[in-house]
Structure 1
Amino acid sequence: MSKYTRKIKKLIDTAPEQEKAILVALIHQQDTDRLIQDHLDELALLTETLGATTVHRFTQRLEKPDVKTFVGSGKLEEIKSYIEFFDVKIVIFDDDLSPSQMRNLENELKIKVYDRSLLILDIFLQRAQTAQAKTQVELARFQYLLPRLTRMWTHLERQRGGTSTRGGAGEKEIETDKRDIRAKITLLKEKLQKIEKQGITQRKGREGIVRVAMVGYTNVGKSTLMRLMTKADVLAENKLFATVDSTVRKVVLDNFPFLLSDTVGFIRKLPTHLIESFKSTLAEIKEADLLVHVVDVSHPSFEDQINVVNQTLNELGAGDKPVILAFNKIDIAPKMPEEAEMMEMSEIEVEEAGYIDFEKLEQSYAKKSPIKPVFMAAESGLNVEEFRKVLTAEVLKIHQKIYPHYLEDEVVDMSRFKEGEDEAY
């Protein structure tokens, strides 16, 4: 064995092994098998983003969650047996658990227990890059953690300089932990207020120029489109929440400048604490003149994702803004086959294939908005020029309406907005 081969083998042997995780979801009366599968697929992607690997999925049909352990006693024993036999390290629930449910489950299962909110918060913690995003996530996470402290929650204490559970700590240590966390929450709120004041000052400096914000479900291709429009390096990965930081860049189309911002992707059941903490970052959406709603049309539940985004926009007070609906990834979406080919397929086969009739889809959404939807593929560049034309036309329209004297007597300092350059935000 060569020296080079031994070195490679050593690196492989010492690489950290991903922790095994199992997923748990309840099936409600109105839920279809396809919906549950979509939800668990999304949860598996979130698990992968966290750095774990899914080895099994458990589901149970219940009218409402068990008050003590979320799932029934029989299902809990089944989960417990699987954990012990396959040496599973993490169990992840697709809904939020109450503090008592979390404590009971950790006492029963003796492993790390995540609910949906905690999973998303930990992913945001990994992905945050700017001081503002890090502070927002830490604040949201500590607010979530406070009522859920138990002596077993060592995996939640990464922020405490390596402090973990000590033998015989008892209730006194938990109370000490709670006081520490309350103090940290106060400090983080103060820090966030200072950062927010800087953000307000920055946004005031943008007056006199049209602002466009990209919104959409997570992993629909917003960052890819941002990179394409600004010709600058932007992190774009096939992962949920590849980036959680908001960036603002100057874009020039047809010699006309405007500001384009990329915002954190939305997701169903986004943790309440996270929405509250990120409201200052999401101010980019509230203060935008135009929204570009990017949709992954190749996703089997893309219309549900559209509804989630629209609902979140309404919650943020931005539901009445003009929107360009950009149906992305048309190159990998299941298009309707030729009529002759369709005739050879059964209704069940057609339904399972999830074919999309783009013509009908365009007609449907064109009725809901005065702005014609655009169908494109940012990754391959397919129909991107059409998107540019629509975007330019809408920006110019808003500019003429809101800033009628801009070209005549408005002077805006654009020197700090070099094309494709991040704003320090």
Structure 2
Amino acid sequence: MSTQELLQRKADATPRGVGVMCNFFIDHAKNAELWTTEGKRYIDFAGGIGVLNTGHLHDRVQAAVAAQLNQFSHTCYQVVPYESYIRVAEKLNALTPGSFAKKTAFYTTGAEAVENAIKIARAYTGRAGVIAFGGAFHGRTLLGMALTGKVVPYKVGFGPFPGDIYHAPFPNALHGVSVDDAMAGIEKLFKFDIDPKRVAAIIFEPVQGEGGFYPAPAEFVRRIRALCDEHGIVMIADEVQAGFARTGRLFAMQHYDVTPDLTTLAKSLAGGFPLAAVTGRAEMMDAPAPGGLGGTYAGNPLALAAADAVIDVIEEENLLERANRLGDQLKERLHTLKQRVPQIAEVRGLGAMVAVEFSKAGSHEPDADFTKKVQAHALENGLILLTCGIYANVVRFLFPLTIEDSVFAEALDKLEAAILA
């Protein structure tokens, strides 16, 4: 069947609200490459929006899921439990930041993990209020949208949203928001909107994902931790996109000298299979009553088998070191291009969580048109890129950390051609 016929079937059968970037369809993929139904090859720098840090169909992940499929595919852990749920929870308890006793609960999506982290914080504190940040992305569910700090396209037409959710500015030096500005925004919330003794949690991304790949300044993270300690507020780090080696550490919070109380995980946790988690202080995780946490598909055994393999692959293939090396190569190429391309406003990132931001030449005005042109030219030339940012003027890079050196070099050449076009 032709691509045009598939596109017509898609238009007839699926809603326009499910936005789709590519006008072709995948047939098969391996590691960082995919091939369409018409045989064209692409290098995948989107990674299913950060899901494929270990690549498409990693041999170890594929084998682990196949072995599990020969045993059973589902029982619902809350009905008939299985050992793999406990085993992967034990691994996450040991690997996530913090030397305190931890427990882990599994879910299916990042948004579900975020919502349950808020539930846990509210149950533990007996409070309702939650503070999030401008530019944040925490999911497309109703509470996830309320926490998300970006209106278009995520919130348009979907309100009203749950109450007791407040937003403060996220520090962003490029756009003139200092750490002091961000903290002053929280203090204004305490003066104008909510008593800090009614705040259950402050949730933030150590590196904002959809918001533009902005790493949180270390001073900001320390001050958030101090504020939470002062007022008895639960600190939640949303590592859904930043986790599992993307930043050159297993978790982005390991770049900082403080630890969160709760951590939300998903995306590359299970190498392409739907799995999410909340890991945190044992006493907080135990706050909800039995039955208060869970879900029919939460902690699916196939996804847990994949996650178990992913954790081993990251260690055995030295993907932390590789993330830093690949990220440095990418940033070096972009910095070199910055000398020739006046639209490049900033190159930034931790490890392989790298972004390039474009502004109109000679100004700080975001240039979404130039960004879109770069993305379109790259796609035409066989390189899949994602944009992000409040102003849609950022290209983010989410290539598999397992990408072959030769394929990575080819992709950088395609990227350079797209920026210079």
Shorter-chain TM-score bucket reads: under 0.3
Relative contact order, CA 8 A, sep 6+: which one is greater? Answer: 2
Q: Between Structure 1 and Structure 2, whose CA radius of gyration is higher?
A: 1
Query: Which structure has the highest helix share of the two?
Result: 1
Question: Taking structure 2 as the reference length, what is the TM-score of the superposition?
Answer: 0.26
